[in-house]
C-alpha cells in the first residue's frame, strides 16, 4: 500500500476494476492500443484511462485501453506535466 495515496482498493481498483481490466484486455487482445495505432505490435501490461479520471474521464469501456509499459510511462509523464502546468497557472490567476 502507498501510504500517501492509499491502497489500490481505496483508489477504486478493487474487484470491480479487476473484472473490468480483464474484459478490456480480452477486448484489446492484450495488445497495446497506442502502439497498434502507430503500426507496432506490443504486448499490453496494463489497462489505462484514455482521458484520465483526474481530467474528467470515466471507467466506461470506451475510455479504457490496453497499454504497454513504455506507452503508459510516457502517457503518465505527460499527464503529470499537464497537471503541474495547470496548478502553476492557477497560482498566477489563470483559468483553464
**Tens of pLDDT along 59-93?**
999 999 999 999 999 999 999 999 999 888 887 76
Conformational region of residue 9, where left means phi above 0, alpha means psi within -120 to 50, and beta covers everything else = alpha
User: What are the start-end ranges of the H helices in the chain?
Assistant: 15-27, 33-37, 69-91
For 18-40, the pLDDT digits (tens) are: 999 999 999 999 999 999 999 99
pTM given for the model: 0.78
Q: How far apart are CA 26 and CA 45, in angstroms?
A: 12
* pLDDT value of residue 90: 82
Give residue 11's pLDDT band: very low, low, confident or very high (50, 70, 90). low
First to last CA, the chain: 33
- Cα–Cα distances in angstroms (integers) from residue 77 to residues 1, 30, 52, 83, in the given order: 22, 22, 12, 10
Amino acid at each position: 500500500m502507498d501510504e500517501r495515496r492509499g491502497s489500490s482498493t481505496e483508489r477504486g481498483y478493487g474487484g470491480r476494476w479487476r473484472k473490468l481490466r480483464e474484459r478490456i484486455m480480452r477486448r484489446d487482445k492484450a495488445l497495446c492500443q497506442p502502439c497498434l495505432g502507430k503500426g507496432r505490435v506490443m504486448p499490453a501490461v496494463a489497462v489505462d484511462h484514455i482521458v484520465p479520471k483526474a481530467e474528467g474521464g470515466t471507467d466506461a469501456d470506451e475510455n479504457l485501453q490496453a497499454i504497454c509499459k513504455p506507452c503508459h510511462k510516457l502517457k503518465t509523464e505527460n499527464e503529470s506535466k499537464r497537471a503541474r502546468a495547470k496548478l502553476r497557472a492557477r497560482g498566477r490567476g489563470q483559468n483553464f
